[in-house]
Amino acid sequence: MDHASWFFRPLVRDELINDVMTPIYKINRDGGNPNHPTHCCPHKLGLLFFTFAIGALMDLELLPYNAEAERYYDLGRAALSLRSVFDSPQVQTVQAVGLMASYHALAGKNYTRDSVWSIMSLAAKLAQSIGLHRDGTRWNLDSRTVHRRRNLFWEVFSADVSHSLALGRPPSIHLSYVDCEFPKDEDEMISDTGEVQEGFWRWKYSFSKDVFLAVAEATLTAKSPSYATILDLDRKVRQMTFPPSYKPYPSPEDRDYHVPSSTMRSFYLSQHRMITMLYLHRSFFAQALLDYPSNPLASPFGPSLLTAYRCSSIIIRAHVHQFQRCPELVMRAWTLLTHTFSAAVIVGSIVTRTPNSNMAPSAMIELGLAVEIFEKSAIHCSRARIALHVLRRLREKAAHAYAQYRTGNFSNQEPTSLPREDDTQDELAIFGGQVRILPSKFLSSKRQAQANSPHLSDSTSTTSSSLDSIDVQTFPSYSSTGARNHVTSSYFSSSISNPHLSYANPEPHVYSVETRQDAHSWYSQPEHPLAVAADYASTRHYVSDYSTAMQCPTAPAYNASGADEVQTIGLTLEAGMDDQWVTFVRQTGIFDGGYNGTIGMG
């Protein structure tokens, strides 16, 4: 269970052993005495079976997505159904339902992200029905019970709001009804200067409360947020810094480098900010490229273009780092691949649409790294196989665009046409959700509507000042010249081998640009493609060692006949601001001529 506790931990070890396992096994040892006080609590039995299911799912001695995990899951569902979850639910009911949702999130192709959100929303409502949102001290409960109730509530709250953001759906709990305090910080540390430093769990709950919920409330409303709101949220995300002692990317010499639970915990925590900012900026990244194809930084959304690219770069390279640390565990967390897929689309779009930008050489390398990540994951994960097909097409388009630019045949004036109305079943739902995506409005009409919106006028007028005040400490430094050298040498070594240098005590970041025509120009002469290819080859060993370590067969080739199966694993992005992102991905052309399924990303 330690391998999965980073994702959802509704109960701690001593509670599991003393209050769940021991009483249940004692009943079994006593011959199933019907007068035993816990005999009539099937939800406690369901909780135990769901715990076993997730334990088997993340057991590195077993194959990924194994039959033993599925059997325990079926037993858990059977136990949970023995008594209605709505009639007098208990703490164990909430815990069991929450673990059921978590199993759906981790178990692969059989379960959609729609089901994860729905079941976790039910757990949130059940938690409210037994008063977990109110602090237990008001009823004079003992300290142990108060602590456990607090822990369960904030785990459910954090999971509910994160799944809601992933699908663009409203969360189930509003803080105006909550006075439950955080549980005691069990990982709290005291620095050499005497300052109290938050542990993993406290930071996770604080981020969910102060950032995730704020982002959800601003972006998941029926009306799309203004750009000024996006920049304010961006600033709020950046202000959530890690404790100085926290090292999200340790070096191989560190004691916890190969410890699986530490690997996933640090990976999960380090990606919170990057993924949130990518979610905030990706639609405006798309709009900047589409509105200003010859010079995207001249767009009012230029800050989003830079932010989305930097976040994508970090997400991809962080995933590479985690494959180095514990590939057999990382490949089981398919939900994390959704963000790497989004990041790969962004870096690939930089090359395909603006191969003459100074970011194109490094973006090409990062796209190659992302493809390798999916090649390794595709060995066991069907969703990764589908995504791999798409990313390989994107890499081909990127290489073609870059080659055209080098020969002087590339034109960056809106190279692709809008998709047809009947192409709505377009591969935008790879990682769970609804079968189909409703046709979104094309960007042309959406941009025209936004041009007449006072929200856009207000936001664009404050873009420059807002960007100046944003703390960009999260990102490692780039320069406009020698981009390839920075990415493949100093950036990779400092931000991947020891990326805590960029997180814990970051240096101020300045993104310098070489001017070619005006102050907004972001172009410099890119390196020769052969040099870029050589540097890409030099980075391959970061993920290629995985095949030797796992000794797994080659991933099955993509089979277009699997379209019917793919239709069951879609993703709905219901936030209004994501219409732009969905349409942009459709316009990349990487889905043309492929299967008639649905692909997307969380």
- Asked if the model's pLDDT at residue 282 lies above 60, the reply is yes
pLDDT at 131: 97
Quote the CA–CA distance of 80 and 93 in Å, as a whole number.
Answer: 8
Please enumerate in sequence order all residues whose Cβ is within 8 A of that of 148, keeping only pairs 6 or more positions apart, or say none: 11, 12, 15, 91
Contact 124, 180 (CB under 8 A): no
Residue 104, token pair as written in the block = 């759906």
Higher per-residue confidence, 308 vs 450: 308
pLDDT at 166: 86
DSSP 3-state percent helix, strand, coil across the chain (nearest 5): 60, 0, 40
Contact 363, 348 (CB under 8 A): yes
- Asked if the model's pLDDT at residue 147 lies above 70, the reply is yes
| 94-98, 285-289, 535-539: least confidently modelled range | 535-539
Choose from 311-315, 418-422, 478-482 the range with maximum mean pLDDT: 311-315
Higher per-residue confidence, 436 vs 450: 450
* Mean pLDDT, rounded, of the chain: 73
Instruction: Render pLDDT for 60-77 as a digit per residue (tens, 0 to 9).
Output: 899 988 999 999 999 999
pLDDT at 77: 97
pLDDT at 408: 81
The end-to-end CA distance of the chain, in Å, is 25
Quote the CA–CA distance of 52 and 447 in Å, as a whole number.
Answer: 50
pLDDT at 572: 41
Instruction: Render pLDDT for 188-226 as a digit per residue (tens, 0 to 9).
Output: 877 777 777 888 899 999 999 999 999 999 999 888 899
Instruction: Render pLDDT for 288-304 as a digit per residue (tens, 0 to 9).
Output: 988 888 889 899 999 99
* pLDDT band per the 50, 70, 90 thresholds, residue 587: low
pLDDT at 32: 60
Please enumerate in sequence order all residues whose Cβ is within 8 A of that of 410, keeping only pairs 6 or more positions apart, or say none: 355, 356, 401, 404
Instruction: Render pLDDT for 428-437 as a digit per residue (tens, 0 to 9).
Output: 333 333 333 3
Quote the CA–CA distance of 389 and 558 in Å, as a whole number.
Answer: 6
Mean per-residue pLDDT, 271-286: 91
pLDDT at 566: 34
- Asked if the model's pLDDT at residue 367 lies above 90, the reply is yes
Domain ranges of the chain: 283-587
> In this structure, which amino acid lies at residue 39?
H
Q: Positive or negative CA dihedral for 97, 101, 106, 111?
A: positive
pLDDT at 381: 81
For residue 279, what are the CA distances in angstroms to 164, 203, 307, 432?
Answer: 12, 20, 11, 17
Query: What residues form DSSP beta bridges with 96?
Result: none
* pLDDT band per the 50, 70, 90 thresholds, residue 129: very high
Residue entry with tokens 């630019």:
405
Quote the CA–CA distance of 35 and 111 in Å, as a whole number.
Answer: 38
Mean per-residue pLDDT, 161-176: 92
* pLDDT band per the 50, 70, 90 thresholds, residue 37: low
DSSP 8-state class, residue 438: P
Contact 247, 500 (CB under 8 A): yes
* pLDDT band per the 50, 70, 90 thresholds, residue 498: very low
Residue 293, token pair as written in the block = 């194809």
Higher per-residue confidence, 59 vs 456: 59
